[in-house]
């Protein structure tokens, strides 16, 4: 056994350039799979890690989530809020409203989304995780005062907006009390492009019609009850609006499920891409092995002439492709882990969200396993072809 390995090794090292190319093909394919999957898991863990902080939270929206898209069906009313408060086990209910408004700054006008709500609740949702760059947060008795997201301050208008600057929101004068820091990926869409007001001010500027609540958040006392309460909450609001599916109440549990399903789709796509890379690599191996068979026709003939059985030749060639793919697989795993780190660094800084790749041992084993399968499968045809050659014709060749 040792000798046959040695022999295969020598054959491979004699054809260094091509062996290295094949090795590389497999290694790159496996590295792609390992790194993409590890980065995917790492991101997922980072996001779910941040979200588990909100385990006592229920978010209620007046619409339906279908896959990744959201269809708004209307707004919540004061009656909805009263009814929710009556449900047992609820610690706190916050209603928020939002809508587009025309914002004027130094004679420049832009449409911007305005968000109003309970200032304490908004603070724990947004100010605590994101933080303010300048100024202070809203107070409940503030009136014509706003806090703006980082992109509103730096990108929306020709001139940057700072604390104490004046904005007109739908014609009403406001003073900027604070500016948010740039938010991480998780919060970027919620914070960066928005202007935050007190609920009263938001109702005023958005007008009575639009001032109905677009978003309700509920905190419960007991995390165990959170799903139960969410169901009851949906039912009551649906009753109020006379629709079967008007409200969507999401708990972190259901949110985490959604996220993990999105990530598993994402991983599927990534693995699919990597699989294509592997198919290409396997064509490469097959080609290498076919060339090796061709090149060594004479040698195979000699081996058969001195008593090698077909199975001896077959196993010699299969062993060669196994060795190539094993080394390729292991190298691919190492490369993949390194690549995953690099990609994570780049993606972390691009998205403003800290995370490290999660390298699962199973993924590494699968990587090597896949490499071996690819190697053996693509080596099999050439090996079989080699083993079936007639000794006399093979010896005469070359």
Q: To the nearest whole angstrom, how small is the minimum distance from the Cβ of residue 305 to another protein?
A: 6
- Tell me: does residue 3 bind another protein (CB under 8 A): yes
Q: Which of residues 306-335 bind another protein (CB under 8 A)?
A: 306-312
- Tell me: does residue 11 bind another protein (CB under 8 A): yes
- Tell me: does residue 2 bind another protein (CB under 8 A): yes
Q: Answer for the pair 182, 152: CB distance below 8 angstroms, yes or no.
A: no
Residues in the chain: 398
Q: Answer for the pair 126, 191: CB distance below 8 angstroms, yes or no.
A: yes
Q: Which of residues 43-72 bind another protein (CB under 8 A)?
A: none
Q: What is the DSSP letter of 56?
A: T
Q: Which of residues 229-248 bind another protein (CB under 8 A)?
A: none
Instruction: Indicate the residue among 166 and 388 with the shorter CB distance to another protein.
Output: 388
Q: Which of residues 250-309 bind another protein (CB under 8 A)?
A: 298-299, 302-309
Instruction: Indicate the residue among 83 and 295 with the shorter CB distance to another protein.
Output: 295
Instruction: Indicate the residue among 188 and 289 with the shorter CB distance to another protein.
Output: 289
- Tell me: does residue 89 bind another protein (CB under 8 A): no
Other CB atoms within 10 A of residue 30 CB: 32
Instruction: Please list, in sequence order, all residues whose beta carbon lies within 8 angstroms of the beta carbon of residue 145, skipping any fewer than 6 positions away.
Output: 138, 139, 174, 175, 177, 197, 198, 201
Instruction: Indicate the residue among 69 and 311 with the shorter CB distance to another protein.
Output: 311
Instruction: Indicate the residue among 12 and 322 with the shorter CB distance to another protein.
Output: 12
Distance from C-alpha of 316 to C-alpha of 296, rounded to nearest angstrom: 12
Of the candidates 247, 199, 219, the one whose C-alpha atom is nearest the C-alpha of residue 99 is 199
Q: To the nearest whole angstrom, how small is the minimum distance from the Cβ of residue 317 to another protein?
A: 14
Q: To the nearest whole angstrom, how small is the minimum distance from the Cβ of residue 292 to another protein?
A: 12
Instruction: Indicate the residue among 133 and 295 with the shorter CB distance to another protein.
Output: 295
Instruction: Indicate the residue among 280 and 392 with the shorter CB distance to another protein.
Output: 392
Where residue 72 falls (left for φ over 0; alpha for ψ -120 to 50; beta otherwise) is: beta
Instruction: Indicate the residue among 227 and 295 with the shorter CB distance to another protein.
Output: 295
Of the candidates 143, 129, 217, the one whose C-alpha atom is nearest the C-alpha of residue 174 is 143
Q: To the nearest whole angstrom, how small is the minimum distance from the Cβ of residue 396 to another protein?
A: 10
Instruction: Indicate the residue among 13 and 69 with the shorter CB distance to another protein.
Output: 13
Backbone angles phi, psi at 376, to 5 degrees: -70, -45
Task: Tell the residue number behind the tokens 């305005």, with chain if given.
Answer: 114
Q: Answer for the pair 378, 286: CB distance below 8 angstroms, yes or no.
A: yes
Q: To the nearest whole angstrom, how small is the minimum distance from the Cβ of residue 306 to another protein?
A: 5
Number of H helices, E strands in the chain: 14, 12
From the list 5-13, 54-62, 158-166, 200-208, the region that binds another protein by CB under 8 A is: 5-13
Instruction: Indicate the residue among 4 and 346 with the shorter CB distance to another protein.
Output: 4
- Tell me: does residue 391 bind another protein (CB under 8 A): yes
CA 120 to chain centre: 31
Q: To the nearest whole angstrom, how small is the minimum distance from the Cβ of residue 16 to another protein?
A: 13
Options 65, 243, 345, 392; binder of another protein; rule CB under 8 A: 392
Question: Which H or E run contains 72?
Answer: strand 69-72
Q: To the nearest whole angstrom, how small is the minimum distance from the Cβ of residue 11 to another protein?
A: 6
Q: To the nearest whole angstrom, how small is the minimum distance from the Cβ of residue 388 to another protein?
A: 9
Q: What is the DSSP letter of 137?
A: -
Instruction: Please list, in sequence order, all residues whose beta carbon lies within 8 angstroms of the beta carbon of residue 191, skipping any fewer than 6 positions away.
Output: 126, 130, 149, 150, 180, 183
Q: Which of residues 119-158 bind another protein (CB under 8 A)?
A: none
| DSSP string across 154-177 | HTSSSS---TT-EEEETTEEEEEE
Q: To the nearest whole angstrom, how small is the minimum distance from the Cβ of residue 354 to another protein?
A: 53
Q: To the nearest whole angstrom, how small is the minimum distance from the Cβ of residue 299 to another protein?
A: 6
Other CB atoms within 10 A of residue 307 CB: 8
In the complex, which residues of this chain contact another protein (CB under 8 A)?
Answer: 2-4, 7, 10-11, 14, 298-299, 302-312, 390-392, 395
């Amino acid at each position: 056994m040792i000798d046959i390995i040695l022999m295969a090794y020598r054959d491979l090292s004699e054809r260094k350039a091509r062996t290295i190319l094949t090795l590389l093909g497999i290694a790159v394919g496996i590295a792609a799979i390992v790194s993409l999957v590890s980065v995917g898991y790492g991101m997922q863990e980072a996001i779910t890690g941040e979200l588990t902080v909100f385990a006592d939270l229920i978010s209620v929206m007046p619409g339906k989530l279908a896959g990744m898209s959201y269809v708004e069906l209307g707004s919540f009313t004061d009656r909805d809020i009263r009814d929710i408060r009556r449900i047992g086990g609820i610690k706190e209910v916050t209603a928020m409203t939002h809508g587009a408004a025309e914002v004027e700054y130094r004679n420049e006008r832009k449409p911007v989304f305005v968000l109003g709500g309970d200032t304490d609740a908004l603070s724990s949702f947004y100010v605590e995780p994101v933080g303010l760059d300048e100024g202070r947060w809203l107070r409940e008795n503030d009136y014509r005062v706003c806090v703006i997201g980082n992109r509103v301050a730096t990108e929306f208008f020709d001139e940057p907006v700072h604390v104490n600057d004046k904005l007109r929101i739908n014609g009403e004068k406001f003073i900027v009390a604070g500016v948010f820091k740039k938010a991480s990926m998780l919060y970027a869409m919620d914070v960066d492009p928005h202007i935050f007001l007190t609920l009263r001010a938001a109702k005023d500027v958005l007008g009575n019609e639009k001032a109905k609540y677009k978003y309700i958040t509920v905190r419960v006392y007991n995390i165990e009850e959170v799903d139960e309460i969410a169901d009851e909450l949906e039912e009551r609001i649906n009753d109020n609006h006379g629709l079967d599916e008007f409200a969507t109440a999401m708990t972190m549990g259901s949110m985490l499920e959604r996220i993990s399903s999105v990530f598993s789709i994402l991983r599927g796509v990534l693995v699919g891409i990597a699989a294509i890379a592997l198919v290409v690599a396997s064509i490469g191996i097959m080609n290498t092995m076919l060339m090796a068979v061709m090149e060594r026709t004479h040698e195979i003939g000699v081996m058969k002439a001195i008593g090698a059985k077909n199975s001896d030749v077959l196993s010699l060639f299969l062993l060669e492709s196994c060795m190539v793919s094993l080394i390729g697989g292991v190298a691919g795993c190492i490369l993949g882990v390194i690549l995953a780190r690099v990609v994570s660094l780049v993606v972390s800084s691009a998205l403003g969200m800290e995370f490290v790749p999660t390298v699962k041992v199973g993924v590494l084993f699968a990587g090597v396993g896949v490499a071996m399968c690819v190697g053996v499968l693509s080596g099999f045809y050439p090996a079989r072809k080699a083993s079936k050659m007639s000794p006399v014709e093979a010896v005469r060749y070359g």
